[in-house]
């Protein structure tokens, strides 16, 4: 059972991650030039943009449900780890493009890290309340 303080932290983490994800989803699905530029640079435009946007939308919705929050946190953590890896290896921490007059100052990277941290907090605080016999997770039997 979580304390009131843990519950407040848990919901703050879930809502924060969900709001950030929903904002990014809108930009990706509307194909704003910055999103297209990013996925073009990764060689994943448009499938990567639309696919990651769909996963982020599912994660954001799941994070707003107590029952599905761990699934949402696992999905968002996976997507954010991929985003962080892409920033470190190909994109750079600060996204810049003179043609688009783009210089995000590292804000997209910071948002990815924020969602990842919120997802980890959700997983840690919810782990005690996961019912592994539920139909969503499946029945577990020990041999």
> Whose CA is closest to 59, among 14, 110, 26?
14
Predicted confidence (pLDDT) per residue in 90-129, tens digit: 999 998 888 888 888 999 999 999 999 999 999 999 876 5
Give φ, ψ of 96 to 5 degrees: -135, 140
| Residue 118, Cβ density class (10 Å: 0-12 exposed, 13-18 middle, ≥19 buried) | buried
- Residue whose entry in the numeric block shows the structure tokens 């577990």: 140
CB 24 within 8 A of CB 111: yes
3-state secondary structure of 97: strand
Supply the pLDDT for residue 8. 93
Predicted confidence (pLDDT) per residue in 40-83, tens digit: 999 999 999 999 999 999 999 999 998 899 999 999 999 999 99
Alpha helices per DSSP H over the chain: 4-29, 33-42, 47-63, 69-86, 107-126
Q: What is the token pair recorded at 81?
A: 């780890």
Give φ, ψ of 21 to 5 degrees: -60, -45
More confident residue, 2 or 21: 21
């Amino acid at each position: 059972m979580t304390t009131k303080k843990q519950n407040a932290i848990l919901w703050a983490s879930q809502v924060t991650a969900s709001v950030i994800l929903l904002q990014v989803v809108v930009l990706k699905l509307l194909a704003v030039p910055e999103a297209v530029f990013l996925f073009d640079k990764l060689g994943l435009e448009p499938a990567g943009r639309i696919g990651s946007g769909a996963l982020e939308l599912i994660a954001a919705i799941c994070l707003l449900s107590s029952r599905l929050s761990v699934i949402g946190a696992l999905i968002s953590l996976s997507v954010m780890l991929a985003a962080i890896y892409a920033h470190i290896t190909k994109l750079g921490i600060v996204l810049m493009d003179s043609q688009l007059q783009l210089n995000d100052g590292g804000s997209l990277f910071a948002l990815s890290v924020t969602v990842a941290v919120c997802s980890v907090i959700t997983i840690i605080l919810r782990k005690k309340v996961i019912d592994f016999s539920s139909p969503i997770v499946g029945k577990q039997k020990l041999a």
